[in-house]
Chain A
């Protein structure tokens, strides 16, 4: 018997013994194995990641939190997301409060042990790309596949939230929410078709810095404007020097530049808090004599907009209602 033949027999014998020995457990674990085998490759900010096709235990952080709560994703842990609380429905808020918090408001406040204890099969990180550096992604990857889907342009929340819901296998309810939003936006667009598209609009955002004497001007596609644009509004102008993310559609000029910014505007909108109160940064602008000199202000065409931070279809429904309430006087003119 040649050595070659002998080794071939040994190989066959070994395989037979292995199959015989593992037979029962292989059958038992067969369904588990096939479930584990059902994966897909998902393109995220951190590359092409192999994730479960139908995740059962998802951890979400940042902007992914409200998106995945709304989409009824199988969440087992979330980061804190206080800024979104005023925009959540009662049901979603109750769910948000009930879920285990595995991270704070800041990315740097990620609790890796809490995430490991939640035993997720998928982690969806919804923070901007520069903030991703504050998170130990490798450590998270040792727990479960990690997909980073963070905000870029403010108006891109539509695509990003869809992508987050897709990764978490929760597109069904997401799509329903999107349809409801689009129907409402279309309804308002028709309602204001006679007055809104004709106006050149400007917007004062909530993030000016009073201590620096500046104000927050938002152009089309920014947080304060993108949902009003869905109703048919047009915000004129563009940033002097475009930067990444929201800096591509908003800037912080000196209060002295208020006339330069808004002298051409037929009407002005400005962000207010969820409860309708005016933030210090916006109040600084509203109290300025330069604001009171603006043609749109003299004509009484200024409109506060609530819920401008909306980054999901559900929360944007609040914004649509707020826009409708605020712009209603336009229809009476």
Chain B
């Protein structure tokens, strides 16, 4: 019996889906709690009561402004970026059938970094809006290039992504070493951070993430068949080419938008799919749903950590996720065995 069959079978559905729904609801409660906590933690102490009042009865006091206008957008961004990276990770691992695949493998991160470097060198990528624009353009072009060359097979896709990443990273590094000012502008973006994004034009990237997440859910049933292998999927009547193309578009949009607004945040796209694979029990729809909840939780927790870990100031969240990601990956391998990967 396939996982999809279990989920859709009338008798089994009730037996199997109930705990999964429970887990999802539990995850959503945890996500809400962590999101509220993230709005209460920061450089300026805000009493818990003020955090709640800022959300429910906004008066425009300094504390309310901090919660609603500084930490609120940051928490929302963490949710959007966490979900985007985790879901794009789940999609690329399913598509490539490679447990070590992560969204950056499509060259999205390298493409964004390359574009920002070029934009900075030309003096056009100044400011957050400029960086954002160049990151979007770079990530989309890189992903399109990789997809165009490697769309016919997962292995070719991965190899093309790795090759393009190496080329773009090398050229960009060369430029940055020659141009110290460009290096200076790039270094803040390159570590990945959610800080100070409250004034950046985030509506479009966040909207792209929300639409793409919905698209991922719609595509998830078709991906269930693809996860069994192309031959099986074709036998089951799935349009392999169409599904793969749609998935690649979604991965590009999700990872491109997330990277553009927050910089390269490693490990979330790699680790979250592994953490939720066991409870998803082989079902791609559940894998995506869980990733959509656990990705934001992980990124919010890392972002809270980034604010409190050092007394001297913030640590970029990209560094915290890298610290968390390594041990978590090892734990997942030991806990679930290499087979789960």
- Chain A residues with CB under 8 Å of chain B are 106, 209-214, 252-257, 259-260, 263, 280, 284, 287-290, 293
Do residues A212 and B62 form an inter-chain contact, with CB atoms below 8 A? no
How large, as a class, is the contact surface on chain B? 20 to 34
CB distance from B49 to the nearest CB of A (A): 18
Contact status of A256 and B193, CB under 8 A, knowing A210-B128, A212-B314, A289-B65: no
Do residues B195 and A288 form an inter-chain contact, with CB atoms below 8 A? no
Q: Known pairs A254-B43, A259-B44, A290-B66. 9 more at Cβ < 8 A?
A: A212-B193, A212-B316, A214-B313, A255-B70, A259-B62, A263-B62, A290-B69, A290-B70, A293-B65
Do residues A254 and B314 form an inter-chain contact, with CB atoms below 8 A? yes
A106, A257, A263, A287: which contacts B43 (Cβ < 8 A)? A257
- Note all chain B residues with C-beta closer than 8 A to A260: 44
Interface contacts (Cβ under 8 Å), in number, total: 59
Do residues A209 and B199 form an inter-chain contact, with CB atoms below 8 A? no
A106, A212, A252, A257: which contacts B188 (Cβ < 8 A)? A212
Considering the complex, give the chain B residue whose CB is closest to the CB of A215.
B196
> In whole angstroms, what is the CA distance A212 to B307 when docked?
11
Considering the complex, give the chain A residue whose CB is closest to the CB of B199.
A287
CB distance from A179 to the nearest CB of B (A): 38
Do residues B127 and A280 form an inter-chain contact, with CB atoms below 8 A? yes
Q: List 27 A-B contacts (CB under 8 A).
A: A209-B188, A210-B128, A211-B193, A211-B195, A211-B196, A212-B193, A213-B196, A214-B313, A252-B313, A253-B43, A254-B313, A254-B314, A256-B42, A256-B43, A256-B44, A256-B66, A256-B70, A259-B62, A263-B62, A284-B196, A288-B70, A289-B65, A290-B62, A290-B69, A290-B70, A293-B62, A293-B65
Do residues B43 and A210 form an inter-chain contact, with CB atoms below 8 A? no
- Note all chain A residues with C-beta closer than 8 A to B199: 284, 287-288
Interface readout for B13-27 with A: 1 if CB under 8 Å, 0 if not? 000000000000000
Q: Does B170 contact A (CB under 8 A)?
A: no
Centre residue among A256, A257, A287, A289 by max chain B CB count within 10 A: A256
> In whole angstroms, what is the CA distance A275 to B70 when docked?
31
CB distance from A202 to the nearest CB of B (A): 15
> In whole angstroms, what is the CA distance A214 to B128 when docked?
15
CB distance from B105 to the nearest CB of A (A): 26
CB distance from B134 to the nearest CB of A (A): 15
- Note all chain B residues with C-beta closer than 8 A to A287: 199
- List B166-207 residues whose CB lies under 8 Å from chain A: 180, 188-189, 193, 195-196, 199
A211, A254, A284: which contacts B42 (Cβ < 8 A)? A254
Q: Does B126 contact A (CB under 8 A)?
A: yes
Contact status of A289 and B69, CB under 8 A, knowing A210-B128, A284-B199: yes
